[in-house]
Amino acid sequence: MHTVLLKVTALFYLVGALAYLHFVFTLNERSAKLGRMLLLIGAILHGTGFVARYFVAGYTPITSLFESLSFSAFAIVCVFLGFELRYNLRVLGAFVAPLAFAFSASAAFLPGEVRALAPALNSYWLPVHVLLLFFGNAVFAVAFGAGIMYLLMEKELKTKKMGAIFKRLPSLNVLDDINYRCLTIGFPLLTLGIITGSIWAEYAWGSYWSWDPKEVWSLITWFIYAALLHVRMTVGWRGRKAAIFAIVGFCAILFTFLGVNLLLPGLHTYTSFSG
């Protein structure tokens, strides 16, 4: 059931992303409303699928690449809808919704059968650790979209060649504020995710920290966002530098999530390509 719902959900995310893109090019308000509605319906279907899979599997279904990609898409859409409700920033959908579609569509091509849970994953720490990290990553995905929009907007202003996109994007101050809000929300989630993972590792593997590739790259990602938060609070970094850091940080998240599993197998490998 979850696999079928995921494919239907990916279709909703795709059409929703296209509706937001249509809004960017035409400023048609109905397209933005349609995009929001499609993402909301997709998220409801997606959540229903997760609940169904939870009862079938008997554990929180975020242990394989199929489940992780699928949940990443769900978290991104939920966080985006929350930010859109707060900032009424419809254009952000054109940058974030395609990410949700890419993750959900990628998951749809993977084996989605429910498998027995590995002994090390059979823990109450599983949902705590993973949900903190995934929602933190989703918040940083929104910051990534805001960072791209900031650089595009700044380029338009510097060159004084106000193209069509100038009318679609919010002010630099609004984009910088979103970037900062994402940092203040995402960084605590990332920090708590790493801490809970370390506690879980001590129970599962007998050590709080094993310098596993996933752990190392999680730490590198943490340092990137910690540095950004530090310079924002002490040196007053804003604007372009903060936007670039937000983009670099999300690239580190993607590598930690996917690249490490592809290139640097370790203790977390069994969570990746087992389907």
- pLDDT digits (tens), the chain, 275 positions: 677 888 899 999 999 999 999 988 888 889 999 999 999 999 999 999 999 999 988 888 888 888 999 999 999 999 999 988 888 788 888 889 999 999 999 998 888 788 888 777 788 888 999 999 999 999 999 999 999 989 988 887 887 766 666 667 788 888 899 999 999 999 999 999 999 999 988 888 888 888 888 889 999 999 999 999 999 888 877 888 899 999 999 999 999 988 887 777 766 664 444 44
Q: Rounded to whole angstroms, how far apart are CA atoms 133 and 193?
A: 5
Residue 96 identity: V
DSSP reduced 3-state for 208: coil
Give the pLDDT score at 267: 66
Give the pLDDT score at 165: 64
Dihedral sign for Cα 83, 85, 87, 91, please: positive
Angle at the Cα of 93 (from 185 to 258), degrees rounded to 5? 65
For 1-25, give one letter per residue: b (16+ CB within 10 A) or e: ebbebbbbbbbbbbbbbbbbbbbbe
Around Cβ 34, how many Cβ atoms within 10 Å?
18
Place of tokens 């937001």: 20
Place of tokens 């091509």: 109
Cα 112 versus chain centre, distance: 21
Give the pLDDT score at 275: 45
Give the pLDDT score at 272: 45
Give the pLDDT score at 1: 60
Q: Which residues contact 189 (CB under 8 A, 6 or more apart)?
A: 132, 133, 135, 136, 139
The two three-digit tokens of residue 121, written as one number: 């994953």
Residue 63: φ, ψ to 5°: -120, -10
Q: Rounded to whole angstroms, how far apart are CA atoms 10 and 6?
A: 6
Dihedral sign for Cα 253, 255, 259, 265, please: negative
DSSP reduced 3-state for 109: coil
Give the pLDDT score at 44: 95
